[in-house]
Amino acid sequence: MAREFKLPDIGEGVHEGEVVKWFVKEGDPVKENDPLVEVMTDKVTVQIPSPTTGSILQLRAKEGEVVTVGSTLVVFGEPGEAVPTSPSPTPPPVTAPTGAPPKDARKPGPAPPATGEILAAPAVRRLAKELGADLARIRGSGPRGRITEDDVRRASKGPATVAVTPKQAMEPVAAGAEERIPIHGLRKRIFEKMAKSKGTAAHFTYVEEVDMTQLVHLRDRLKEAGERKGTKLTYLPFIVKATLAGLREFPTLNASVDEGRGEIVVKRDHNIGIATATEEGLTVTVVHDVDRRDLWDLAKEIERLATAARDKRLSLQDVQGSTFTITSLGKEGGIVATPIINWPEVAILGIHKIEKRPVVRDDQIVIRDMMYLSCSFDHRVVDGHVGAAFVQSVRNFLEHPALLFVEAG
């Protein structure tokens, strides 16, 4: 029996996604969890696996097309089975008999669009509007003359496609004096989510200094063991374990706010989001079930997620379900910052660079490896003394890392 597969809810307030690449074509057999389609949202690019084993009867979206959550992406079934009528007002593509190529594939060349017809995906139309490009004056390089984002960007550089208001025409502007960058894609999503967080959560930030000397020595001694295991051991796995220990002591920080129902939702799972810098912007990847992972498993998973984020190969699982977030700029981490909460969570931990500084120990000035922690909280949920106590707990585990393997599990 034919089964429709709809674009799933990717979470984080995402309502639509653009089909970047199909890994299958109509008539192909697929197995459950085989790569099905790559979808780009305003937040992240993810690969969606096949939810079932069967045959591809029909693809309901083309590469470059924007589809909403809940709309049908693909129809599965058995070879030769009839395809159900698409609920979309746009007629579905003609499906050739099983084993035969689609009708379009038998044509000697791409068919040009009808006179006056503009073939462009919604995302391309939005980009054209943002750049002031006239789609009617752009020759598409895609299939059947479809206009791509690259076509729009190339055309927008020319004077013929840039919209100029009468006021702009009267005001001379020096060439090269400014550059206008459209806000779209991941950057637009960051705009919206940061504004939502700042406009909703009552932020307050608590900063503490941490003596990382013991942890620096421990990590140095374990680096070689990590290399033998094929893992680059950074400080993040230790920080994740210290954060887990702190969250166990103060469970109300491992929570989110349900604004609609007026409830604080304390999570029993411990899924730590790691803010990862990519070319498109900041992406929060998620290490699931950190309480069930040892140090090496954490290191491997953090490294895998960072690579997948940079290569745009994240799965839905990789970006969903965080209960608490850690953000770091690594060597560029600076001294202190005021991180913005990954809404609807209630707290976020910012970690900064480790550097040698003179400090006083036993009335003596000594050189130690020091680092600052900056933790922001939603003051509606987290009282000041609770937030401070949480940071002190994390600090204690970082300064005495042997405790991580005794109490943090």
What is the CA 256 to chain-centroid distance, rounded? 18
What are φ and ψ of residue 222, in 5° steps? -95, -10
In DSSP terms, which residues pair with 256 in a beta bridge? Answer: 265, 345
From the list 184, 203, 288, 379, the catalytic residue is: 379
What are the counts of helices (DSSP H) followed by strands (DSSP E) for the chain? 9, 18
Cβ burial 328-351 (10 Å sphere, 16+ → b, else e): beeeebeeebebbbbbbbbbbbbb
Q: What's the CA angle centered on 295, arms 386 and 237, to 5 degrees?
A: 55
Cβ burial 270-295 (10 Å sphere, 16+ → b, else e): bbbbbbbbbebebbbbbbbebbebeb
Residue at token pair 């469970």: 251
CA of 77: how far to CAs of 101, 114, 115, in Å? 18, 34, 37
Half-sphere exposure of 68 (CA within 13 A, CB side): 3
From the list 269, 383, 385, 400, the catalytic residue is: 383
Residue 334 makes CB contacts below 8 A (sequence gap 6+) with: 352, 353
Residue 65, both tokens: 């097309």
What is the CA 191 to chain-centroid distance, rounded? 14
Asked if residues 43 and 283 have their Cβ atoms less than 8 Å apart, the reply is yes
Distance CA 27, CA 83 (A): 12
Residue 185 makes CB contacts below 8 A (sequence gap 6+) with: 40, 42, 280
Is 383 a residue of the active site? yes
Continuous segment of H or E residues that includes residue 242? helix 236-249
| Nearest residue to 377 (alpha-carbon basis) of 248, 295, 254 | 254
Distance CA 64, CA 77 (A): 25
Distance CA 369, CA 216 (A): 7
* Peptide linkage before 49 cis (omega within 30 of 0): no
Name the residues annotated as catalytic: 379, 383
